[in-house]
């Protein structure tokens, strides 16, 4: 059952990644990328790496949220639904991507990977969390507060005209 779920999530992640380049609007590409990352994070959860899976899902959803905010702030088409091409220099990009894939695949297949020494930890999630975070928990907590402030600031900047769109007739009587 887990293998079937993993395969389905992997296919969904790949399909979402492909959809990013197939859809014709920035909003749809953002949603497709979010679906791809959430499926990848869920697949990571299935291989008992709970910490990495949850962090992947949370980070990617926040990243897509920030991307949507900046898309609303700076794009000519704030809704992001006008048709547009997500691919530029298609031939050059195809050549570069094939070359990079072949180099990476050759490196992965040609590398003499080391054999496991010792036994795996009883709780790999805890061991991984300690290895990644270590004494940096205070830094990560500070960074999260700064990211939250950035998101709130970006939303305030994105809606410069305010709640009532600058029209006095739309304001309630007690606010006028």
Task: Give the span between the Cα atoms of 47 and 124, in whole angstroms.
Answer: 11
- Can you give the pLDDT at residue 50? 82
Taking residues 78-90, what's their average pLDDT?
66
On whether residue 72 sits in a domain, the answer given is: yes
The share of the chain scoring above pLDDT 70, in percent, equals: 81
Q: What is the DSSP letter of 166?
A: T
On whether residue 82 sits in a domain, the answer given is: yes
On whether residue 136 sits in a domain, the answer given is: no
Q: Which residue has the higher pLDDT, 24 or 42?
A: 42
Tokens found for residue 139: 């830094």
On whether residue 85 sits in a domain, the answer given is: yes
pLDDT of 45 above 80: yes
Instruction: Please give the mean pLDDT across all residues of the chain.
Output: 81
- Can you give the pLDDT at residue 82? 67
Listed residue (29, 26, 34, 33) closest to 61, CA to CA: 34
- Can you give the pLDDT at residue 76? 65
Task: Give the span between the Cα atoms of 14 and 148, in whole angstroms.
Answer: 30
On whether residue 10 sits in a domain, the answer given is: yes
Task: Give the span between the Cα atoms of 41 and 58, in whole angstroms.
Answer: 9
**Residue numbers of the domain that contains 78:** 2-105
Task: Give the span between the Cα atoms of 40 and 17, in whole angstroms.
Answer: 10
On whether residue 98 sits in a domain, the answer given is: yes
pLDDT band at 81 (very low <50, low <70, confident <90, very high): low
- Can you give the pLDDT at residue 42? 94
Domain count, the chain: 1
On whether residue 21 sits in a domain, the answer given is: yes
On whether residue 23 sits in a domain, the answer given is: yes
Q: Which residue has the higher pLDDT, 174 or 32?
A: 32
Task: Give the span between the Cα atoms of 79 and 38, in whole angstroms.
Answer: 23
- Can you give the pLDDT at residue 171? 55
How does pLDDT run across 107-125, given as a tens digit for each residue?
999 999 898 888 888 888 7
CB atoms near residue 170 (< 10 Å): 10
pLDDT band at 3 (very low <50, low <70, confident <90, very high): very high
Helix 50-74 vs helix 26-46: angle between axes, to the nearest 10 degrees?
Answer: 170
């Amino acid at each position: 059952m887990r293998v079937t779920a993993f395969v389905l999530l992997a296919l969904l992640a790949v399909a979402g990644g492909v959809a990013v380049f197939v859809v014709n609007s920035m909003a749809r590409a953002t949603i497709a990328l979010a679906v791809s990352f959430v499926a990848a994070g869920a697949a990571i959860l299935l291989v008992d790496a709970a910490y990495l899976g949850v962090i992947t899902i949370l980070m990617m959803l926040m990243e897509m949220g920030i991307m949507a905010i900046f898309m609303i702030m700076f794009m000519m088409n704030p809704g992001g639904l006008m048709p547009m091409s997500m691919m530029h220099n298609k031939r050059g990009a195809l050549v570069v991507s094939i070359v990079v894939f072949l180099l990476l695949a050759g490196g992965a297949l040609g590398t003499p990977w080391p054999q496991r020494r010792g036994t795996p930890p009883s709780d790999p999630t805890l061991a991984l969390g300690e290895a990644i975070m270590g004494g940096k928990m205070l830094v990560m907590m500070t960074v999260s507060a700064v990211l939250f402030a950035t998101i709130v600031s970006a939303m305030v900047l994105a809606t410069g005209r305010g709640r009532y769109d600058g029209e006095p007739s739309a304001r309630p009587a007690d606010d006028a």
